[in-house]
């Protein structure tokens, strides 16, 4: 089995200040269904990739109990996972 190096900030979400959160473009915030549509995958795949047991989970944040995804962060995640 090949060992991989994982950065702590990739595993534990970094807390963002209110100022950083206001810099988010609201048009780039996606629901799980919208993200699944853009990636052309089932919504269950999106939820699976956000679980804590996933080694390098999709970057997401919560609005109450709802998951949301910031598209530029997802694009960066996809770039790291290119084969």
Q: What are phi and psi of 69, to 5 degrees?
A: -125, 140
Give the model's pLDDT for residue 40: 97
Residues paired with 29 in a beta bridge: 70
Phi-psi region of 32 (alpha: psi -120 to 50; beta: other; left: phi over 0): alpha
Instruction: State the pLDDT confidence band at 24, using cuts at 50, 70 and 90.
Output: confident
Instruction: State the pLDDT confidence band at 22, using cuts at 50, 70 and 90.
Output: low
Alpha carbon of residue 79 to chain centroid: 12
pTM above 0.85, yes or no: no
Reduced to 3 states (helix: H, G, I; strand: E, B; else coil), residue 30 is strand
Predicted confidence (pLDDT) per residue in 25-78, tens digit: 999 999 999 999 999 999 999 999 999 887 889 999 999 999 999 999 999 999
């Amino acid at each position: 089995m090949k060992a991989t190096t994982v950065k702590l900030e990739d595993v534990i979400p970094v807390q963002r200040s209110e100022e950083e959160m206001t810099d988010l473009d609201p048009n780039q915030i996606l629901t799980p269904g919208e993200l699944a549509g853009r990636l052309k995958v089932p919504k269950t795949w999106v939820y699976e990739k956000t679980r804590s047991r996933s080694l390098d989970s999709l970057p997401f944040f919560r609005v109450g109990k709802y998951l949301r995804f910031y598209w530029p962060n997802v694009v960066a995640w996809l770039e790291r996972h290119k084969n």
